């Protein structure tokens, strides 16, 4: 009998294999058929330290037995208080208020609502949102609206709101992006939302920290709220805890999710500046922030996030990341330039374009590559002809060698 499960981003009509995973540890996934896979993309960019980190597993078990769930409107609990307090210490200065939700998409929705809510109080005319070309911010209606338009969301186009798009700052064309942002800011939009340093789902497109710094400065000059979507880049992925650190900027709003629990359980946070929080604070109930979901700040998820913060403070996470960054750099350098175009790296993330005619996201190349890697014991999921790695930080040298050897082999086979 076929399974009733409808999988995400999966074309069931193609009958591609769907391995069943039964157990995981570190960088490894163990499947029901007895095979073992290296998780080269951190299970869709969430797993940071490695699967089933003992401290996170223990925190979840302990919290589940003590307080599983409680309404968060008007009630609080220690795991949420700890996460918020500790995170504010680590975040860029001025981001002193923490709003909880459940996924990267909801963290972004909350950020957009906070920005509009802010301007609603101080200046009703600002509602437009500026976005960057090739961005991805999630799959809900609001987050699709601020993301790249294409095959993924064409059917839903009538529901998406209009945004103003500035070009991606490709190497050599950075000034055009800054000029476009400056011009767009002059029309007094509400906010600019951007993925700092690297655009993930848009194809692992990187741009330098100085461009990020300049974009933040332009927004500040025009008093346009700057929203950093660190859903993917947060928690060490770009080599520092947050990508914004590398530009020395403090956004008005930061969105966090994915690695916040080490990748064990869903949780998301939207950090807001005092100015945004204070605009909503009043004795007038009509000015409260109108957002919630049933499981806002679930205690078990918060306990996992608190354990993640302990790992960051007590273990040498940045040391492990530095080793991985070097390993990824060596792996990329080992690939043959004739078969792979535009090798690029942002911290622990490495990407190359496979030189081939057949390259769109919907072409058969990506699933063929996926199958090729699966046969070699690797979970890799190329974006069109872009092959990228984003391994958990515990991935060792031997595993990296296996990963890059297989990518080289794919080059010889498909390029
Ligand atoms: C994954 C991602 C999201 C959406 O997060 P979900 O938890 O999948 O909803 C938003 N923004 C960026 C930059 C992402 O990479």
CA of 301 to the centre of ligand 1 (A): 17
CA of 138 to the centre of ligand 1 (A): 5
Q: Which two tokens stand for residue 38?
A: 């290296």
Smallest CA separation from ligand 1 atom 15, residue: 232
Quickly name the fold that domain 58-314 has: 3.40.640
User: d(Cα 85, Cα 73) in Å, to the nearest integer?
Assistant: 18
pLDDT tier at 324, thresholds 50, 70, 90: very high
Give the angle subtended at the CA of 351 by the CAs of 346 and 353, to the nearest 5°: 145
CA of 107 to the centre of ligand 1 (A): 9
CA of 235 to the centre of ligand 1 (A): 14
Are 12 and 367 spatial neighbours (Cβ–Cβ below 8 Å)? no
Pocket (CB within 6 angstroms of ligand 1)? 103-105, 108, 136-138, 195, 200-201, 229, 231-232, 257
In this prediction, residue 361 carries a pLDDT of: 67
Smallest CA separation from ligand 1 atom 6, residue: 104
User: pLDDT of 11-43, one tens digit each?
Assistant: 999 888 999 999 999 999 999 999 999 999 999
Across the chain, how many H-helices and E-strands are there? 12, 16
User: d(Cα 99, Cα 296) in Å, to the nearest integer?
Assistant: 9
pLDDT tier at 232, thresholds 50, 70, 90: very high
CA of 290 to the centre of ligand 1 (A): 22
User: What is the average per-residue pLDDT within 126-141?
Assistant: 97
Across the chain, which distance is largest between two alpha carbons, in Å?
67
Among candidate residues 236, 229, 282, 200, the one with its CA nearest the CA of residue 110 = 229
Among 43-57, 134-148, 265-279, 347-361, the least confident range: 347-361
Q: Which atom of ligand 1 is nearest to the CA of 229?
A: 13
What b/e readout covers 338-374, taking b as 16+ CB neighbours within 10 angstroms?
A: ebbeeebbbbbbbbbbbbeeeeebeeebbbbbbebbb
User: d(Cα 371, Cα 382) in Å, to the nearest integer?
Assistant: 11
User: What is the average per-residue pLDDT within 336-353?
Assistant: 95
In this prediction, residue 32 carries a pLDDT of: 98
User: d(Cα 318, Cα 305) in Å, to the nearest integer?
Assistant: 18
pLDDT tier at 364, thresholds 50, 70, 90: confident
* Residue-averaged pLDDT of the chain: 96
User: What is the average per-residue pLDDT within 190-204?
Assistant: 98
pLDDT tier at 336, thresholds 50, 70, 90: confident
CA of 9 to the centre of ligand 1 (A): 14
Q: Which two tokens stand for residue 198?
A: 């690297």
**What's the N-to-C CA distance of the chain in angstroms?**
38
In this prediction, residue 335 carries a pLDDT of: 96
The residues that bridge with 346 in the sheet, in sequence order, are 349
CB-based contacts of 371-374 (< 8 A; 24+ apart in sequence):
371/16, 371/17, 372/406, 372/410, 372/413, 372/414, 373/40, 373/406, 373/410, 374/17, 374/19, 374/37
CA of 381 to the centre of ligand 1 (A): 16
Q: Which of 138, 143, 237, 383 to mutate to test the pocket of ligand 1 (most atoms within 8 A of CB)?
A: 138
Q: Which atom of ligand 1 is nearest to the CA of 258?
A: 7
CA of 8 to the centre of ligand 1 (A): 14
Query: Percentages helix, strand, coil for the chain, rounded to the nearest 5?
Result: 40, 15, 40
Q: Which atom of ligand 1 is nearest to the CA of 108?
A: 10
Q: What is the bridge-based pairing of β-strands 349-354 and 378-379?
A: unpaired
Q: Which of 45, 135, 137 to mutate to test the pocket of ligand 1 (most atoms within 8 A of CB)?
A: 137
Smallest CA separation from ligand 1 atom 5, residue: 104
Distance of CA 154 to the CA centre of its chain: 23
Residue 168 has pLDDT above 80, yes or no: yes
User: What is the average per-residue pLDDT within 100-126?
Assistant: 94
Residue 242 has pLDDT above 70, yes or no: yes
User: pLDDT of 69-78, one tens digit each?
Assistant: 999 999 999 9
Residue 160 has pLDDT above 90, yes or no: yes
């Amino acid at each position: 009998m076929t399974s009733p499960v409808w999988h995400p981003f999966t074309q069931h009509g193609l009958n591609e294999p769907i391995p069943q995973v039964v157990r995981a540890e570190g960088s490894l996934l163990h499947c029901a058929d007895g095979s073992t896979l290296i998780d080269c993309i951190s299970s869709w960019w969430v797993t940071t330290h490695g699967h089933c980190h003992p401290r996170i597993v223990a925190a979840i078990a302990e919290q589940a037995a003590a307080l599983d769930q409680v309404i968060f409107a008007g009630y609080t609990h220690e795991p949420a208080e700890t996460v918020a307090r500790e995170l504010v210490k680590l975040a860029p200065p001025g981001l002193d208020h923490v709003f909880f939700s459940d996924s990267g998409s909801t963290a972004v929705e909350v950020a957009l609502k906070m920005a509009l809510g802010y301007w609603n109080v101080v200046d009703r005319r600002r509602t437009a949102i500026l976005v960057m070309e090739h961005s991805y911010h999630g799959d809900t209606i609001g987050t699709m609206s601020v993301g790249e338009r294409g095959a993924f969301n064409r059917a839903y186009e009538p529901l998406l709101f209009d945004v103003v798009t500035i070009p991606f700052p490709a190497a050599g064309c950075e000034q055009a992006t800054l000029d476009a942002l400056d011009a767009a800011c002059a029309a007094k939009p509400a906010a600019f939302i951007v993925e700092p340093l690297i655009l993930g789902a848009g194809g692992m497109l990187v741009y330098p920290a100085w461009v990020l710094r300049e974009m933040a400065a332009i927004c500040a000059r025009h008093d346009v709220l700057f929203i950093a979507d660190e859903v993917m880049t947060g928690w060490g992925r770009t080599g520092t805890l947050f990508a914004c650190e590398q530009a020395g900027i403090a956004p008005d709003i930061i969105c966090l999710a994915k690695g916040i629990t080490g990748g064990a359980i869903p949780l998301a946070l939207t950090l807001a500046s005092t100015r945004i929080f204070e605009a909503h604070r009043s004795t007038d109930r009509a000015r409260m922030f109108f957002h919630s979901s049933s499981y806002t700040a679930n205690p078990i998820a918060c306990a996992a996030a608190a354990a993640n913060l302990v790992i960051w403070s007590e273990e040498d996470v940045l040391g492990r990341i530095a080793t991985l960054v070097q390993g990824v750099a060596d792996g990329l350098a080992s690939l043959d330039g004739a078969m792979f175009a535009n090798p690029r790296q942002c911290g622990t993330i490495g990407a190359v374009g496979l030189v081939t005619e057949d390259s769109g996201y919907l072409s058969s190349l990506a699933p063929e590559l996926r199958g090729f890697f699966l046969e070699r014991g690797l979970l890799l999921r190329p974006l069109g002809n872009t092959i990228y790695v984003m391994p958990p930080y515990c991935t060792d040298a031997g595993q990296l060698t296996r990963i890059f050897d297989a990518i080289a082999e794919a080059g010889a086979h498909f390029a």
